[in-house]
């Protein structure tokens, strides 16, 4: 089956409304981090505080997501995501109100953390649904699941292109507060729709029973570390972009510039489905890590918005292939009863990396400017290449062991 035919088959199985809802439901998380950074930075005049608030949101989301994922493994996604969507929307609204009211730094950072704690990780949870959705496809399932992960990687990256772009438009047309209120509205509407969609029934969970199978393994530690470094790239690059855009007098353009990272990544993610199956995910992330390091170096030389747009767009072309490889590895080697937890742990690592990158880059930018912020990106990618290079044998062994012991025992998607 060709990649195009596989994509068509996936959308037939899940239904176009689900694909649309699952995509729109992940936009608020992509909007909230940059929106918080711009809102707080503009209100207080401190990139450090803005980065701290955005980082607090990301860290809190990283802390809460694995618990939500574990709960979803036990009781299903429907109730978990529904509560998170409503609570997350309310928290973002409260954050805007407090900033406009001139609340203390502690209150602002604390509320940002509350918002992050409440917001659902839609992308990882959507990945969990694809295996049971494709359960009746027989021998085609393995290929369909791989293509689904390519799509999900592209969808995540597209959300991190469109999300910042919506924030940028909101800042230009209304205000940073208006952009965050839009994120709250999207979460309330589409997060709820994702929670209540019929596909949530295929991952009902195991009731009161604890999920079985080992979660923390050396391989998962490698994958979590890889995602943490990618998150550092996001946070540092977004912060450096914001500082440069502000210095040239166009702070509202920061979201649009950073969106080019997600755009390039989304296109590369779609193309990942065309990579031959024999080129395994462990080799894909090695090649992608090398490309990330190489393509991050031009960030140290940029001095204008046009140059930054070109550098960020090229860097994005290596992001999705790396992340798709990481999530694909996790789906293959983690016990089936712990997949939702593993997916959210990986997403959480991305959030922790974002917090680390934005916080460190924000402080360096306050003292030394945007080039220092971009240096954090380059350093993180050098670490990523070293990590993946040293872990190739471990990853190949884990994949081989998983292939030998693989069994298919998935719930079937109920008819609508």
- The reported pLDDT for the residue numbered 112 is 94
- The reported pLDDT for the residue numbered 48 is 76
**Interatomic CA distance for residues 311 and 294, integer angstroms:** 11
Closest CA to 163 of 263, 299, 86: 263
How far does CA 181 lie from the centroid of its chain?
20
Instruction: For residue 135, give the 3-state DSSP assignment.
Output: helix
The length of the chain, given as a count of residues? 416
Q: Say if CB 346 and CB 359 are below 8 A apart.
A: no
Within 13 Å, how many C-alpha atoms sit on residue 146's CB side?
23
**Token pair of 377 as six digits:** 């990106």
- The reported pLDDT for the residue numbered 204 is 59
Q: CATH number of the domain at 222, please.
A: 1.20.1250.20
The answer to whether residue 94 is domain-embedded is yes
The answer to whether residue 382 is domain-embedded is yes
- The reported pLDDT for the residue numbered 291 is 95
The rounded percent of the chain whose pLDDT value lies above 70 is: 91
Q: Say if CB 58 and CB 239 are below 8 A apart.
A: no
How far does CA 264 lie from the centroid of its chain?
15
Let me know the angle formed at the C-alpha of 9 by 7 and 11, rounded to the nearest 5 degrees: 70
Give the contacts of 322 (CB within 8 A, at least 6 positions apart).
Answer: 226, 230, 284, 285, 288, 289, 292, 384
DSSP 381-398: HHHHHHHHHHTHHHHHHH
**Interatomic CA distance for residues 184 and 276, integer angstroms:** 40
Residues of the chain with pLDDT under 50: 206-212, 407-416
The answer to whether residue 411 is domain-embedded is no
The pLDDT tens digits of the residues spanning 11-64 come to 888 888 999 999 999 999 888 888 898 888 888 777 778 878 887 888 888 888
Q: Say if CB 353 and CB 227 are below 8 A apart.
A: yes
Closest CA to 93 of 73, 69, 118: 118
The answer to whether residue 415 is domain-embedded is no
**Interatomic CA distance for residues 298 and 316, integer angstroms:** 13
The answer to whether residue 413 is domain-embedded is no
Closest CA to 148 of 262, 265, 234, 22: 22
Instruction: For residue 205, give the 3-state DSSP assignment.
Output: coil
Give the contacts of 57 (CB within 8 A, at least 6 positions apart).
Answer: 32, 33, 36, 112, 113, 115, 116
**Interatomic CA distance for residues 244 and 250, integer angstroms:** 9
Give the contacts of 5 (CB within 8 A, at least 6 positions apart).
Answer: none
The number of folded domains in the chain is: 1
The pLDDT tens digits of the residues spanning 211-243 come to 445 667 888 899 999 999 999 998 899 889 888
The answer to whether residue 9 is domain-embedded is yes
- What's the DSSP call for residue 414? P
Q: Say if CB 105 and CB 44 are below 8 A apart.
A: yes
**Interatomic CA distance for residues 82 and 5, integer angstroms:** 33
The answer to whether residue 148 is domain-embedded is yes
Q: Say if CB 256 and CB 313 are below 8 A apart.
A: no
Range of the domain at 39: 3-405
The answer to whether residue 91 is domain-embedded is yes
- What's the DSSP call for residue 413? P
């Amino acid at each position: 089956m060709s990649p195009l035919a596989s994509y068509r088959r996936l959308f037939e199985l899940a239904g176009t409304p689900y694909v649309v809802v699952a995509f729109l439901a992940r936009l608020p998380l992509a909007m909230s981090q940059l929106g918080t950074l711009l809102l707080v930075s503009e209100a207080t005049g401190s990139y450090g505080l803005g980065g701290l608030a955005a980082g607090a949101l990301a860290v809190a989301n990283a802390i809460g997501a694995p618990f939500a994922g574990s709960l979803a493994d036990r009781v299903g996604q429907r109730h978990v995501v529904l509560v998170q969507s409503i609570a997350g929307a309310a928290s973002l609204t409260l954050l805007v109100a407090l900033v406009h009211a001139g609340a203390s730094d502690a209150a602002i950072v604390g509320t940002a953390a509350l918002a992050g704690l409440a917001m659902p990780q839609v992308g990882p949870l959507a990945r969990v649904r694809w295996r049971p959705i494709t359960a009746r496809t027989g021998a085609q399932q393995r290929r369909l699941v791989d293509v689904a992960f390519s799509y999900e990687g592209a969808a995540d990256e597209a959300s991190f292109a469109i999300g910042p772009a919506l924030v940028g438009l909101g800042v230009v047309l209304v205000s940073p507060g208006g952009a965050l209120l839009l994120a709250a509205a999207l979460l309330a509407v589409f997060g709820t729709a994702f929670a209540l969609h019929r596909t949530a029934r295929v991952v009902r969970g195991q009731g009161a029973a604890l999920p079985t199978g080992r979660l923390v393994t050396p391989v998962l530690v490698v994958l979590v570390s890889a995602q943490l470094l990618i998150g550092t790239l996001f946070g540092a690059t977004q912060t450096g972009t914001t500082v440069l855009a502000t210095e040239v007098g166009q702070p509202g353009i920061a979201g649009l510039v950073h969106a080019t990272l997600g755009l390039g990544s989304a296109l590369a993610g779609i193309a990942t489905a065309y990579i031959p199956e024999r080129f395994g995910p462990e080799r894909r992330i090695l090649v992608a890590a090398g490309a990330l390091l190489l393509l991050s170096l031009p960030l140290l030389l940029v001095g204008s918005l046009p140059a930054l747009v070109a550098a960020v767009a090229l860097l994005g072309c290596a992001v999705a292939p790396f992340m798709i490889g990481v999530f694909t590895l996790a789906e293959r080697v983690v016990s089936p009863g712990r997949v939702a937890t593993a997916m959210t742990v990986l997403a959480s690592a991305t959030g922790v990396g974002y917090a680390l990158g934005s916080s460190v880059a924000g402080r360096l930018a306050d003292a030394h400017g945007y080039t220092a912020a971009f240096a954090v990106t380059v350093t993180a990618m050098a670490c990523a290449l070293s990590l993946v290079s040293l872990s190739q044998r471990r990853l190949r062994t884990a994949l081989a062991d998983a292939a030998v012991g693989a069994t298919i025992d998935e719930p079937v998607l109920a008819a609508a």
